Structure 1
Amino acid sequence: MERPYILHMFTPGRQMSPFDVNMAADAGYQVLAPYTDVTLDAVRGLTQDAIFSRSPKGLARTGIFIGGRDAVLAADMLDRAKKAMVPPFAVSLMADPSGAYTTAAAMVASVEAELVAMGAGGLSGQRVVVLGGTGPVGRIAGVMAAMAGAHVALSSRNGIDVAEEAAQQTGQRFGVTLHGISGGDRDAVRRSIADADVILATAAAGVQVVSAEDLAVATRLKVAADVNAVPPEGIAGVGVMDKGTPVAGTAARGLGALAIGNVKYQTQQRLLRSMNEATEPLVLGYAEAFEAARALLRQA
């Protein structure tokens, strides 16, 4: 009898995301085993329980997925699981907390592709402002944009101190330079986007962070991307289906939540399938998610 494909799913939260469970099943995993309330210190033991229960050959059909809602903690858990391997006893690993890695990858890769299509040369040298930048998607989107050469500022509605703390912590953890900027009130938002080339809206669903009046001050704006699919739109004038659509009253192009979401879905599915089909162990984190989204868009 052939061994089944098993995916062990770790989360520090109280429940594993149903979205991730469905995605893993669709990628070919036959047995899905969720583990909740998993601490960083528990990762080593759980990982070694998984790797020593099968022969090295059987481990090709075994994987570990790390979820949760904390983008930094997920990266730490991924590192801890990787260090727990005892070759040749090793399995493929993937982290995607709250979909933050694949959502951010889809968003930033889509912006990059749009800039190239406009003749703006990609993200290198662009000034990127991430509104809602202290959340999991915002932080990782900022990291990816910085990896691509952009000058990135994380904005927080809670003010400059919170934004700067998030920027420093995230930049140090992921090895990039990020800055904090205040989005505490309308004037602060307008000051933050006045000289932005790119706006990434990653705030809570159903919250409009940039109004049409705010956009009027963003005279350098090239691309506005929004991952909020719940009305009202996070950026006024950017519809959920927009894919390079002109944003009214500006010279910018818009990327909407469902257009980005389609790239996110395909990116996550591609990564899970690559784990499922791998003959050698893979480690898939935020950087691999970004490269997968870029490759997907290059093939489009």
Structure 2
Amino acid sequence: MPDDKASILIQLDVDPQPSVFDAVVAVDARVDHLFRHGDVTPENVQDLVYGALFTRGPSDLHRTALFVGGSDVAKAEAVLEAIKKTFFGAFRVSVLFDANGSNTTAAAAVLAARSSLGGSLEGARAVVLAATGPVGQRVARLLGRQGATVAVGSRDANRSGKLAERLAATTGARYDAFSNADPDDLSRTLESAALIVAAGPEGARLLSAPQWQGLGRLRVVVDLNAVPPSGVEGVEPTDKNVDKGGVRAWGALGVGGLKMKIHKRAVQELFGSNDKVLDAEEVLELGRDLA
């Protein structure tokens, strides 16, 4: 029998107005129908999920999927957990989590860096600036799972220390903590870095040119901030594996092209079965051959 059911993506956004960006990607991924809901919470999401589960038989549920998004990643994570608790037996649909673009951006950054390091991160020393933010946490997590040893930084040393402990327990990889705000601590950490990823907020300068140019072991620098001033001085948003004095540089727009390809593929992947939950690790796997 041909699979003639239309594909339906239900966009569940924690913001009052669902993201237009995410809606456009869904359309470009050739979803047949897109239903958009804003102000989604763990308390009100159950009935929305039930609407997805009980309108089609179990054999057709692979043609319905959920996308969880919004600017507040912590709120969206709570919604995702509530969704997973709603599923039972054969009554489940696939879900993509990409609140604030955190998973697709992190996956693209890690895959871009890996390509510039010869295709492997095994044993590489990576430094993640602003690692306690949503994207930074996921970048650090994925780097550890790829075999890198990772130093995670924050202005608050206590926060970066807690993150390092949590990530080490989750991944089994080695994580160290440092303070972005302490120049000496930052300098010592950067000396051993083969890879630097700046994952700070828009318009926040995290690293000056003298702080990274000339580092003997540095091979790749990735800046995920597209809004001036750049997060890493000397890296342009459009840089895409550009040689900067022996260091390969990636800017936010350079990484963004790969991010968009991964995002589109992840949406398409939802309709292969009804039992996928695509979080950071799964999204990275989908992008392996796109980098």
TM-score of the aligned structures, taking structure 1 as reference length = 0.86
Equivalent position of 1:143 in the other structure: 141
Moved more, 146-155 or 211-220: 211-220
SS in 2 for 1:214: helix
Q: 1:23 to 1:174 in 2, by over 3 A?
A: farther
Instruction: Tell me the distance in 2 between the aligned counterparts of 1:253 and 1:126.
Output: 15
Equivalent position of 1:89 in the other structure: 91
* Deviation at residue 296 of structure 1 after TM alignment: 1.5
SS in 1 for 2:201: coil
Instruction: Tell me the distance in 2 between the aligned counterparts of 1:134 and 1:97.
Output: 16
Q: Tell whether 2:276 aligns with 1:282.
A: yes
Instruction: Tell me the distance in 1 between the aligned counterparts of 2:65 and 2:168.
Output: 29
Aligned length: 288
Moved more, 236-245 or 219-228: 236-245
Greater than 6 Å deviation, 4+ residue runs: none
Q: Which runs of 5+ in 2 are unaligned?
A: none
Counterparts of 1:155-234 in structure 2 under 5 Å? 155-156=153-154, 158-172=155-169, 177-216=174-213, 218-234=215-231
* Deviation at residue 176 of structure 1 after TM alignment: 5.3
Aligned partner letter, 2:225: N
* Deviation at residue 71 of structure 1 after TM alignment: 4.8
Q: 1:180 to 1:36 in 2, by over 3 A?
A: farther
Equivalent position of 1:23 in the other structure: 25
SS in 1 for 2:131: coil
Equivalent position of 1:271 in the other structure: 266
Equivalent position of 1:67 in the other structure: 69
Q: 1:42 to 1:167 in 2, by over 3 A?
A: farther
Moved more, 98-107 or 183-192: 183-192
Instruction: Tell me the distance in 1 between the aligned counterparts of 2:78 and 2:176.
Output: 22
Moved more, 265-274 or 12-21: 12-21
Conservation of the 8 A alpha-carbon contact between 2:63 and 2:274: no
Q: 1:46 to 1:169 in 2, by over 3 A?
A: farther
SS in 2 for 1:129: strand
Moved more, 225-234 or 196-205: 225-234
Equivalent position of 2:253 in the other structure: 258
SS in 1 for 2:289: helix
Aligned partner letter, 1:150: A
Q: 1:98 to 1:173 in 2, by over 3 A?
A: farther
* Deviation at residue 57 of structure 1 after TM alignment: 3.8
* Deviation at residue 166 of structure 1 after TM alignment: 3.2
Q: 1:165 to 1:34 in 2, by over 3 A?
A: farther
Q: 1:136 to 1:240 in 2, by over 3 A?
A: same
Instruction: Tell me the distance in 2 between the aligned counterparts of 1:172 and 1:34.
Output: 37
Instruction: Tell me the distance in 2 between the aligned counterparts of 1:155 and 1:39.
Output: 31
Moved more, 158-167 or 193-202: 158-167
Instruction: Tell me the distance in 2 between the aligned counterparts of 1:73 and 1:127.
Output: 32
Conservation of the 8 A alpha-carbon contact between 2:94 and 2:273: no
SS in 1 for 2:221: strand
- C-alpha offsets along residues 117-176 of structure 1, whole Å, 9 cap, x if unaligned? 6xxxx21111111111111111000000000011112211x2211221333345556665
Aligned partner letter, 1:147: R
Q: 1:147 to 1:173 in 2, by over 3 A?
A: closer
TM-score of the aligned structures, taking structure 2 as reference length = 0.88
- C-alpha offsets along residues 273-300 of structure 1, whole Å, 9 cap, x if unaligned? 1224x25543211111111122212xxx
Aligned partner letter, 1:266: K
SS in 2 for 1:99: helix
Which of residues 270, 273, 292 in structure 1 aligns to 2:286? 292
Conservation of the 8 A alpha-carbon contact between 1:72 and 1:173: no
Conservation of the 8 A alpha-carbon contact between 1:225 and 1:254: yes
SS in 2 for 1:39: coil
Instruction: Tell me the distance in 1 between the aligned counterparts of 2:140 and 2:20.
Output: 26
Instruction: Tell me the distance in 2 between the aligned counterparts of 1:43 and 1:176.
Output: 35
Conservation of the 8 A alpha-carbon contact between 2:144 and 2:171: no
Over the aligned positions, Cα root-mean-square deviation in angstroms equals 2.4
